[in-house]
Amino acid sequence: MAKRRTKKRTHAAANPNSKSGAVAGPGKLDRNDPKSMVIRIGAGEVGSSISQLATDVRRVMEPGTASRLKERKANRLRDYVTMCGPLGVTHLLLFSRSETGNTNLRVSTTPQGPTLHFRVEKYSLAKDVRRAQRHPKGGGKEYITPPLLVMNQMTSEPGKASDNVPRHLETLVTSVFHGLFPPINPQTAPLKSIRRVLLVNRERSSKDDGSYVLNFRHYAITTKVTGVSKAVKRLNAAERLMNSKSRKGKLPNLSKLQDIADYMIGGENGEGYTTDGTSGSEADTDAEVEVIDTTGRKKVAPRTRPAAATEEGSDEEAASADHGHDKVERRAVKLVELGPRMKLRLTKVEEGMCGGKVMWHEYIHKSKDEIKELEKLWAKRKQEKEARRKVQRENVEKKRAAKKSSKSNKGDDESEDDEDEMDLDDLGSDAYDYMDDDEFDSEGLQGDAEAKTNEEAEENGEWSDEEEQIADHR
């Protein structure tokens, strides 16, 4: 029989490093990484713009989100909450529209909460951001790894917290956003795995009006080599194109030049020595960083390479060993916005998951006496809830006990019936289970007739004669 094919193109492979604690590779998720669902509450009522905004936010949350989630009009919040446990979902992002037309976003942590209520005051879709750019970025491999979360001014300085926005509220909001994405260790994480940046910046108002406003931005990270002339960059790009399968791109035209030195000094048109300032390229005004080139290089066997190259290679290896690091190159880092943009205003914080005690409200403020009354009310509700759970447990235990007793009673009745059914030899009825009432024994007698015949033979003395014949082997 032919071996059954294992589907590899449509099923994501499990992460083999999840148990050992190693970092998951690009495109692979660890079982301990946070997972989220971006949902439209009232899918047919929010409109096309909010639906597209939810789709863009799903792109931001990739790869640890349900990017192909389909909502239905009949689905309720309870349906999604029920599936959070089996699917391992840790956060819910709920978009909705109020009766007055306001767009709301709720960020909830499962299963115990808390829930942050935001009003989306302004937003721009990803397609609008790309349309406004001259050279848009996106559609590549940026979404196979989670973004780097950068939060700015989320908490106030010690001793400078506002009375309207307490410090514990700021810490709570920071922890909720921090838990949306897996943590990144700068010492062990490869630089190629960080392709996007999610910036959450708190916008502070000049007046202490008790508002908590966040700006949501999403960028892609691009880098380019600095300190190299334009001619050398084109040669490096041409070398990469020659080594790759793709032949797309424009190669430098060297047909009119006599030597490569003419190209390096004067360029294709012989206009003179080209540098960073005279090469015609844009000035590198972005932040520059030093990156260690850790890419593997192809090693050549000592017999095949010349002796001079061997000596140069040994000198380079000794120099690299003295410096203690690989080749270091300077790169300019540039951020290209991917979208979407959102301006979020925090309006309410609830203790539970989309329901429960209100911990903070922007517009409704309670006095100390009212807070005490609410605390008593919530304590009473909690006691009633515990009492209902206790009654439910007792009912479940009673049902289980009744079920066990019914099973045991059935077993006792069966054992009593077995004791009543005894044969003539004081053996259990199971000793004759293999015999039916209509079957005959070896003497042609039916049922217990053979035992009666043997008893009659013993009374008449015929059985002793048969015993002697058996002893004599006759």
Q: Is the pTM above the cut of 0.75? A: no
Looking at residue 13, what is its pLDDT?
45
Q: Are 463 and 454 in contact (CB under 8 A)?
A: yes
- Over range 4-21, report the average pLDDT: 55
Q: Residue 231 corresponds to which tokens in the numbers above?
A: 């001619």
Q: Are 357 and 373 in contact (CB under 8 A)?
A: no
Looking at residue 136, what is its pLDDT?
86
Highest mean pLDDT among 270-279, 297-306, 349-358: 349-358
**Cα atoms in the Cβ-side hemisphere of radius 13 Å centred on 417:** 6
DSSP string, 241-301: HHHSS---SPPP--TT-SSHHHHHHHTTTT-----TTTSSPPP--SEEEEEEE--------
Q: 253 or 29: which carries more pLDDT confidence?
A: 253
Residue linked to tokens 């999604």: 80
Of 80-84, 285-289, 335-339, the one with minimum mean pLDDT is 285-289
- Strand, coil or helix: what is 361? strand
Mean pLDDT of the chain: 75
Q: Are 229 and 182 in contact (CB under 8 A)?
A: no
Looking at residue 59, what is its pLDDT?
93
Element (H or E) spanning 391, and its range?
Answer: helix 368-420
pLDDT of 272 > 70? The answer is no
Pairing of strands 115-124, 341-350: antiparallel
Residues 448, 442: Cα–Cα separation, whole Å: 12
**For the CA atoms of 321, 323, 326, 331, what is the dihedral angle to 10 degrees?**
-170
**In sequence order, what E strands does 14-139 have?**
36-40, 91-97, 103-109, 115-124
Pairing of strands 213-225, 103-109: unpaired
Integer-rounded Cα radius of gyration of the chain: 40
pLDDT band of residue 290 (cuts 50, 70, 90) is: low
Residues 215, 340: Cα–Cα separation, whole Å: 11
Looking at residue 148, what is its pLDDT?
92
pLDDT of 383 > 50? The answer is yes
Q: Which of 97, 100, 104, 120 is closest to 43 using CA atoms?
A: 97
Q: What percent of the chain has pLDDT over 70?
A: 64
pLDDT digits (tens, 9 = 90+) for 206-222: 776 778 999 999 999 88
pLDDT of 129 > 80? The answer is yes
pLDDT digits (tens, 9 = 90+) for 136-147: 887 678 899 999
pLDDT of 169 > 80? The answer is yes
Looking at residue 187, what is its pLDDT?
76
Q: 471 or 357: which carries more pLDDT confidence?
A: 357
- Over range 279-285, report the average pLDDT: 47
Residues 18, 23, 25, 31: is their CA dihedral positive or negative? positive
Looking at residue 267, what is its pLDDT?
56
